[in-house]
Amino acid sequence: DGGITQSPKYLFRKEGQNVTLSCEQNLNHDAMYWYRQDPGQGLRLIYYSQIVNDFQKGDIAEGYSVSREKKESFPLTVTSAQKNPTAFYLCASTKTVNTGELFFGEGSRLTVL
């Protein structure tokens, strides 16, 4: 079955460490996104990518980095520069570049100890 796979589902990090969240899709979607969700908050866009080797900053990109070396993969690195990284991270993709009909992965919950 097609879908979006995020890993790990739960991750604990010590302060000062970088962590990378994986996102893989087999839907043949062009555009991919990373959102962050905090309790009681809406989703906020971190980074997005329309095509391979191209990505754009969203509203809260500081302290994060991404790569898009393959159409299927869009990993997110949470760096030590991100001051408050504890959150629920959601990867999404869209069928075409003109739709907001996002398909989401199951999410990765990051906790900083």
**Taking CB under 8 A as the rule, does residue 28 contact another protein?**
no
Query: Token digits for 96?
Result: 């075409």
Q: Which of 7, 59, 70, 81 binds another protein (CB under 8 A)?
A: 59
Query: Following DSSP, what letter does each residue of 25-62 receive, concatenated?
Result: E-S--SEEEEEEE-TT--EEEEEEESSTT--EE-TT-T
Closer by beta carbon to another protein, 61 or else 80: 61
Q: Which residues bind another protein (CB under 8 A)?
A: 31, 33, 35, 40-45, 48, 50, 56, 58-59, 90, 94, 96-107
